[in-house]
Structure 1
């Protein structure tokens, strides 16, 4: 097929184009930063055309993986009253001037409402009716950042599994998902993927990394082991690794390199470092929770998950420790912000506006051991394609001070 010649007797111009004025020249390989300036035309560029075909196949592969494994697809709401992730970087929804005047001083939904940061809490609701559920949709962060790692609107793959008491069960689903989706994309879009590996990120040896990933088991280390590895590293880090502090991107990339450039699961994080809903390991003085992050080459964190605390007394006890047992609007210390537990700015709200203690009701009225995870879809595409900037793996990037088209 590649050697066939196109023979035509006539040519009819359907839509004329001034090639001198058209910003994307046919025989030029434009930098992705340049192409990004033309959101209405960039899909006509070869690189973005390949990216969109890959996104389509990857999306289908992810849906197929979950459906083949008995998961029920749930459409979780985009408008929500909770801040599941707890980072406090939410877009609050406000009515237009006309609607605001009619509603006077009341909220449109009677409570503050936001664009969702995660579908986890809604998926947890569904685990009371279905064994395995997943969602795949847009999520939002109001983080004032124009870095290569952040978007204001991006897509998340999230799943919840009932009847699991082992973090290994969740890790196995994550590993199978990543490998299955990647194998499908490589088999269905070989030329499109090759374009990225050959022209966009040739120095990153992404193709070799993917081959290693597909044929090797992911490495597993504990948070304790990760901190010790970082402390013994010859490399000097901007953020000094200490037990009880979150892993920074530089730490995550070093750990992946240390483990042979294959994906690495880091498990069992400090109790005070993670949100209140993660399951207490009950493991002594250095108290930890059953949490897991998947770190991958070139990106750092790709997935995050945990076993959920299904035991009502443990959940109530944790809220009691935080002094919020009456409100159940849990605020947790966030060491990423300011290292001062007496400073109110160091806390973030983990769950907001859960009237009638509905989150606790999920445990009170018949719960089962369960857990889940989330994977950033754009970060996944960055990983398999070797793309440096997250803005170049989404059709219409939205980020701080930029909402073109």
Structure 2
């Protein structure tokens, strides 16, 4: 506004020159507010800069006060150098501050820049005695899990959240670049896609609620999968996907299961080959992982060096080789020929357990492996019947990965109306899924799809053992603290 007014004055007058000089002086002296990630890049050397963040370390000395401040935008904090006069006793580890000063090149090799402060203002106090995280102490993920409301303040978990954010963007980018349409599938649904009965029922609460009536007139549940809704959309779009929360009422305390987690699901029309699906699974895995390694190098290194040492070699090995594929029958043969003692049986027709999946991955060179053509009776009603006798298998596939086991599960869908109707009648579901039969009656095409557990993907890439350590707020049986 001031600049616009000044330009309307004649620059030949002394008054106008003074106004312009004053405005330029004001603009030059006004500090620029930047994120820490922008400051540490060194782009604004010599500029008066303001940063806001949380104190990660405090080192008072006779000649100077040294602070490390971060705002979550970078693993690397910004070093603040201030005179001893600015050493406010409220500036402690964990406190929130606003610092203004001149950005200068640092003399130390480990940090490109530092901020020579002339103002340090405490915005939020923090008592370091009561704060559960201690300066210069590397806490385990198990310890951090006790403080779901505070663990984002630590290097390890803030790195995890930046990686998670970048991986989310990478997955969306992969689908967009490959012609998929994103569909927002509902969180509240009336169907049980998996058929396992592990559902959270949804009903309102309050004095006006009539317990004798369903709010939606039918029983409604939190979704266990967006697959069936994607199949609806695959009748109008050749490639669709969804990425959102899913819910399973599993009474489990395992390291691989959560009551609420995120799923990446895709559906491809006009395909009669499992190879079309496995190609999307593998390409998406590679694309997202390469993106994360390139754009979150420091954060990933923190995990691979200090949390899961040696796991970087595993990740690089996964990216170097194509993923092999074996049939379920071949997998059972491998397990039966093994000298390993398994807790669960390995007869043909059994469901593969985590111990079986991890062994198969190691047997194949500790890289991801596809297992195809499972027994028909192990798969839900929508899996395509291979009509092979006497084995009778379904055109289904799982992707098994190191350290986790099953990462993806998918199948070709049964598009043949007579076979699908017979399967639904056998299960007593024909009335419930009459709309699903309509999809086969009106312009049906061969199609298939899969789902990927996003938290398990992060476990695989980072080497994290417990799934509760790769999600911001883990939900599992007997645990919903906030």
- 3-state SS of 1:13 partner: strand
Measured after TM superposition, the shift of residue 8 of structure 1 is: 2.1
**Corresponding residue of 2:72:** none
**Corresponding residue of 1:328:** 430
**Corresponding residue of 1:402:** 479
Measured after TM superposition, the shift of residue 94 of structure 1 is: 1.8
Measured after TM superposition, the shift of residue 147 of structure 1 is: 1.6
Measured after TM superposition, the shift of residue 395 of structure 1 is: 0.5
Distance in 2 between residues matched to 1:55 and 1:42, nearest whole Å = 15
Give the counterpart of 2:370 among 265, 278, 291: 265
**Corresponding residue of 2:460:** 383
Measured after TM superposition, the shift of residue 319 of structure 1 is: 3.2
Give the counterpart of 2:311 among 192, 197, 206: 206
- 3-state SS of 1:64 partner: helix
Alpha-carbon spacing, 1:311–1:251, altered in 2? closer, same or farther (3 Å): same
Distance in 2 between residues matched to 1:298 and 1:323, nearest whole Å = 35
Q: Is 1:197 paired with 2:309? A: no
Give the counterpart of 1:296 among 383, 401, 405: 401
**Corresponding residue of 2:29:** none
Distance in 2 between residues matched to 1:33 and 1:317, nearest whole Å = 49
Higher-strand-fraction structure: 2
**Corresponding residue of 1:169:** 276
- 3-state SS of 2:121 partner: coil
**Corresponding residue of 2:163:** 54
**Corresponding residue of 2:332:** 227
Distance in 2 between residues matched to 1:98 and 1:366, nearest whole Å = 47
- 3-state SS of 2:124 partner: coil
1:55-134 alignment runs, 5 A limit: 55-101=164-210, 105-134=212-241
Who wins on radius of gyration, i.e. which is larger? 2
Distance in 2 between residues matched to 1:187 and 1:41, nearest whole Å = 28
TM-score by length of 2: 0.76
Task: Name stretches of at least 5 consecutive residues in structure 2 with no aligned partner.
Answer: 1-39, 41-110
Measured after TM superposition, the shift of residue 272 of structure 1 is: 1.1
Measured after TM superposition, the shift of residue 11 of structure 1 is: 2.3
Distance in 1 between residues matched to 2:465 and 2:319, nearest whole Å = 21
Q: Is 1:248 paired with 2:350? A: no
Calculate the aligned-residue CA RMSD, in Å: 1.2
Q: Is 1:281 paired with 2:383? A: no
Distance in 1 between residues matched to 2:248 and 2:133, nearest whole Å = 31
**Corresponding residue of 2:141:** 32
TM-score by length of 1: 0.90
Count of aligned pairs between the two proteins = 373
Distance in 1 between residues matched to 2:329 and 2:427, nearest whole Å = 29
**Corresponding residue of 2:107:** none
- How far does the alpha carbon of each residue in 1:233-253 deviate from its partner, in whole angstroms, 9 at most, with x for none? 000000020100110000000
